[in-house]
Amino acid sequence: MIIMPGSELMKNHEAFLNSDLSEFEGKWVAIIDGKVAGSGNNLKILLDNVKKESPGKKPLLAKAPTKRILILAAHKK
């Protein structure tokens, strides 16, 4: 998937990366218009609720990271 700069998805993706999601640790979050629109442990229920509350919007759905996360990066010499 290609995320176009300036798109609604890009705005929501940037909000996900830059937000303090510690209160949602380990839960699914739905981000609409750059803000958390909902959260929960069940992705399907969350998506159903967000669709009812914000019809026509395309939420970014992601799992909020836990404190125990490992990020690996490759380094070219």
User: What residue ranges do the domains of the chain occupy?
Assistant: 8-63
pLDDT in tens, 16-73: 989 999 999 999 999 999 999 999 999 999 999 999 999 999 899 999 988 776 666 6
Task: Judge whether residue 3 has pLDDT over 90.
Answer: no
* Sign of the torsion angle spanned by Cα atoms 54, 23, 65, 6: positive
Instruction: To the nearest 10°, report the CA torsion of 14, 49, 63, 16.
Output: 10
In this predicted structure, what is the pLDDT of residue 49?
97
Q: Which of 6, 12, 1, 8 is nearest to 62 (CA)?
A: 12
Please give the model's pTM, rounded to 2 decimal places. Answer: 0.78
